[in-house]
Structure 1
Amino acid sequence: MLKNTMFSITALSTMALLLCITLAFPVFASPAISSNEKSSFEEYTNSDLYSRAEPIQQINPFPFQSRRGPSNPNYTLDVHYDKDQHVMKGSMKVEVTNNLSTTLDHIYFNVWPNAETFQENGGGITVENVQVNGNASEYRVEKTKLDIQQVQWKPHEKKTITMEFKVQIPKQKDRFGWYGDTVSLGNWFPILAVYDEEGWNLDPYYPYGEAFYSLSGNFDVTVTTHSSEVIAATGKQIGERKVEGDMATYRYKAFNVRDFAMEMDPNYHVTTAIVNNVDINVYYTDKQEKYADDMLESGVDSIKLFSEKFGAYPWPELDIVSMEGWFGGMEYPQLVMMSLTDNRNTNGIMG
C-alpha cells in the first residue's frame, strides 16, 4: 500500500489511540473476589490465547474509597444482526456477585440505546423475559434505566441474570449507529450499572466524551450476521467463523474490560502489525485507504509509548477502525473508532 498522505503521528496518537489505552485500564470492584471463588472464565483467561500479554492483577487502586460493585460480572451474549432491518436481537446472561456490605433490593442496568439522541434517529432497545436465578422477575425500563425489582440480593451472594433484548440501530454517523454499509456498535447492549458510595449510578446518557461508568468484567459474545460482514470487536476472536448459507457466526472473548464494542462493514480491508507481542489491526475501506498506513504507525507508536511509560499492554490485541462520524475518535476497550471524513486534513487536524 502506498503512503499517499502523512498524518501527524503525535497528534493522532495523543488524541485517540493513547487516550484509549490509558483509559482502558479496568475499573475493578473493590475488593476483588477471593481466590477461591472460581470464575467461569478461569480456563479462558489462563489459555494460550492470552499467554503473550501480561494480565493486570485485580487490585483496588483507590483503597481509601468505599466499595464498588457488584463485582466481576461475566457476560455471555448470543446475538443476531439483521443488516437489512438494522436490528440486533438476542439473549444475555450475567453472572455476578454482591461484594457489598448491604443487601440490594434492586439490580440496575444501563440501556443506552434508549437515549433521546438515538431515539431521534430511529434507535432504541426493548427488554423481555428478565429472570434472576431462573425465576421470572419484576422489572421496568424507564428511559436509559432497566430496574430489576425485589431481588433481595444479600452480601457475598451470586446471582445469574438473564434477559432477551432487541436493539434498533439508529441511522446516524456516530459511535452507535449505521450509515451506508458501516455499523458502529458502542454502548449497544444492557450493561450492569455501578453501585458505589453514591448508590446506584444511573446518570442519563451524555453524547460527548467517555461519559460511561462501568466495572471491569469478562465477555463471551457470539454474533451471527450476514457472511459478507467484516467485524472488528473488543477481545479476541475464538476459532474460525462458522458459515451456513448466507450467514456466519463469530465468537469473541474478552477479559478485564469495561465494555464490549464492535464495528462492521463488508467493505473493510485489514492491515496488521505486531509490537511488544500485541496485534495491531487497522480496518479501512477503499475510500479510507490513504489513511491506513498512518493509522497503523500511530497504533504501533502508541503501544510502544504505553509500554515505556506504564508497562506491558495487558491485552493481546488493539483494533483501530475507520468510520464516518462527527467526532475525531472514540475509545472502547481494545477498539478505537476513528472518524475519517472527506474534509479531514492530511496533517491530522480534524476536519
Structure 2
Amino acid sequence: MSSLRWRGGMSVRFVNTTGVVLDTIWLRLWGNGEDGCAAPAVRVTRLSGGTAGDPAVGCTALPVRLAHPLRPGQPALVRFDLHIAVPDRDARFGHNGPYYLLGHALPVLAVHDGKGWHLDPYSTGGESNYSLTADWTVRLDHPRALAIPATGSAVAMPARPGRTLTTIAAKRVRDFAFAAGPFGKREALTRHGVLVRLWFADDVSAAEVDDTLAGAVEYMDTFAGWFGRYPYPEVDLVSSHFDWGSMEYPTYVVTYPARTAVAHELAHQWWYGLVGNDQYADPWLDETIAEYAKQRATGDENPLCAGPFWPSPDAKVTSGMDYFNANGGYSLVVYLLGSCLMHDLERTMGPDRWLAFLRDYATAHRYGVSTPVAFRAEAQAASPVDLAPVFHRWRAS
C-alpha cells in the first residue's frame, strides 16, 4: 500500500431493518463522484455474500444482489476487495503535494427507508451523502513516516521494517474519512474532557496553529453547552490553506486555519454527525444550523438578515440539491439566508427557550435522522408564539 494507491479488504455486516424482504442492497462509492465511470477512483472486486451488478449513478452506486433474500430482522455479511487510487487534485478526496485526503473514499451502505433506496447523484457544490450510523474498525498498513489523522480513535503499532499498522475504531458514526502525510500535530483538552488533535501541513504558521487549536477547544465547549454533550473521546482537525474550502466528517474535519471555518465545521459534529439528515434532499437541516452556530460563536455578522436578497423568485431555504445543482445559489440561500432563519427563530422564541429547544432536539434525534417536518413541529411545540410567519418569511414553510 502507498499513499497514492491503497488496496485491501472490507467487510460490511448489517441487519435488514427496512420491514421488507431485500434481495439487493446498494453500496455508495462517493469517491467516484468527481470523475464518474471514466476514471473510477474506488473499485470493488472479488465480492462474496452476493453478486455485484453494473455500477450506476456515475459509478457512485453499486448494486449487490444478495446470495439469499434477506427477511426483516435478519443479518447479512458481504466482503470484497477494495482498490483506491487517490485523485491527482487538491480536493477533499485528493492531495496537495505530500498531503493526502481520503474523504468519502470508503464505501458505505445506501439508505433504504419509506421512500425506497436513496440513490441520489453526486453534488460538487454541496453534499449528497445520506447514511446511518455504524461501528467501524479500520486497519491501515502504511509507511512509518506518514501520520494518519482519521475518524475515531487510533492505536499505532510497528509492523514490517519501516512500516506502521494503525488500527482505528469509531462507534456510531455515519462515515469514515482519513488523511495521510507528514503532518505536524498539537493536542489540547476541552473543559468537558474531549481530546482535540490538530494536524497541520507545513503551510500553516505557528501563530495559525495556536489560534486554530485554541478556537477548536473553545467551540467544542461552546457547542456542547448549546447542543448537548459530545459523546466521542476526541475530534481531529486537519488544517492547511486548501483552495477548495473545508469539509466535515464524523469526529474529523478538514479546514483551512481560520476560526470561522473551524467553528462551522465543528458545529457539524452535532448537525450532520450526531443529528443526521438527507443532505441531498434537505441540506438546510445541517448547513443552516452549522452556519448559524458559527456566526453566533464567532460574532460574525450576516448583513443579509437585515436586507434579504434572493437570487430567484423560486429559491427557498428548504430547496434540495437538485434545485441548487440546476439553478445555483446554494451558498447564498442555504448558508446565509438559512442562518437568518435560525437567528429569527432565536429572536422570536427568546434565546433561552431557543437553545433549550436545540438541546432537546439534538438529544431526541441523536444518532438518528432529522426531517423538515420534525424540526418545524418540535420547534413550534417549544415556542409560546406561532412560528409559521418566521418560516414563511425565510421561505422555509
Normalising by structure 1, report the TM-score. Answer: 0.69
Structure 1: 4+ residue segments shifted above 6 A: none
Give yes or no for the alignment of 1:184 onto 2:108: no
Which residue in the other structure is 1:99 paired with? Answer: 17
Which residue in the other structure is 1:270 paired with? Answer: 185
Three-state SS of the structure 2 residue aligned to 1:313 is coil
**1:251 pairs with 167, 179, 200, which one?**
167
Say which one has the larger Rg.
2
Three-state SS of the structure 2 residue aligned to 1:137 is strand
**2:149 pairs with 212, 216, 232, which one?**
232
**1:313 pairs with 230, 237, 243, which one?**
230
Q: Is the 8 A contact 2:212 2:257 kept in 1?
A: no
In 2, Cα distance between equivalents of 1:292 and 1:119: 39
Alignment of 1:113-128 (within 5 A): 113-117=31-35, 124-128=41-45
In 2, Cα distance between equivalents of 1:170 and 1:210: 19
1:166-209 deviation per Cα after TM superposition (whole angstroms, max 9, x unaligned): 11110111110022000001000111100012111111111233
In 1, Cα distance between equivalents of 2:130 and 2:88: 25
**1:137 pairs with 41, 45, 51, which one?**
51
- The percent of aligned pairs where both chains have the same amino acid is 28
In 2, Cα distance between equivalents of 1:292 and 1:226: 25
In 1, Cα distance between equivalents of 2:34 and 2:254: 22
Which residue in the other structure is 2:308 paired with? Answer: none
- Bigger relative CO (Cα 8 Å, ≥ 6 apart): 1
Q: CA deviation at 1:119?
A: 6.9
In 1, Cα distance between equivalents of 2:220 and 2:237: 12
Which residue in the other structure is 2:239 paired with? Answer: 322
Gaps of 5+ in 1: 1-80
Q: Is the 8 A contact 1:175 1:325 kept in 2?
A: no
Distance of aligned partners of 1:231 and 1:138 in 2 relative to their CA distance in 1, 3 Å threshold = closer
Higher strand fraction: Structure 1 or Structure 2?
A: 1
In 2, Cα distance between equivalents of 1:118 and 1:277: 42
- Letter of the structure 1 residue corresponding to residue 109 of structure 2: L
Give yes or no for the alignment of 1:148 onto 2:68: no
Alignment of 1:1-351 (within 5 A): 81-83=1-3, 86-117=4-35, 124-132=41-49, 137-142=51-56, 143-150=59-66, 151-238=68-155, 240-266=156-182, 268-275=183-190, 276-289=192-205, 290-339=207-256
Shifted more, 141-150 versus 192-201: the winner is 141-150
Q: Is the 8 A contact 2:106 2:177 kept in 1?
A: no
In 2, Cα distance between equivalents of 1:322 and 1:201: 32
1:41-72 deviation per Cα after TM superposition (whole angstroms, max 9, x unaligned): xxxxxxxxxxxxxxxxxxxxxxxxxxxxxxxx
Q: CA deviation at 1:123?
A: 5.3
In 2, Cα distance between equivalents of 1:285 and 1:126: 29
User: C-alpha root-mean-square deviation of aligned residues, in Å?
Assistant: 2.3
1:314-346 deviation per Cα after TM superposition (whole angstroms, max 9, x unaligned): 1000111113433332100011101359xx9xx
Three-state SS of the structure 1 residue aligned to 2:204 is helix
- Letter of the structure 2 residue corresponding to residue 270 of structure 1: K
In 2, Cα distance between equivalents of 1:138 and 1:296: 44
Q: Is the 8 A contact 1:237 1:253 kept in 2?
A: yes
Q: Is the 8 A contact 1:129 1:163 kept in 2?
A: yes
Three-state SS of the structure 2 residue aligned to 1:260 is coil
Gaps of 5+ in 2: 262-297, 302-397
In 2, Cα distance between equivalents of 1:339 and 1:144: 27
Q: CA deviation at 1:118?
A: 6.8
- Letter of the structure 1 residue corresponding to residue 223 of structure 2: F
In 1, Cα distance between equivalents of 2:232 and 2:246: 20
Distance of aligned partners of 1:141 and 1:176 in 2 relative to their CA distance in 1, 3 Å threshold = same
Q: Is the 8 A contact 1:123 1:171 kept in 2?
A: no
In 1, Cα distance between equivalents of 2:89 and 2:243: 10
1:57-114 deviation per Cα after TM superposition (whole angstroms, max 9, x unaligned): xxxxxxxxxxxxxxxxxxxxxxxx413xx11111111111001210012110001122
Normalising by structure 2, report the TM-score. Answer: 0.61
Q: Is the 8 A contact 1:171 1:177 kept in 2?
A: yes
Aligned residues: 257
1:236-280 deviation per Cα after TM superposition (whole angstroms, max 9, x unaligned): 013x322321221100000010001111112x1111110111000
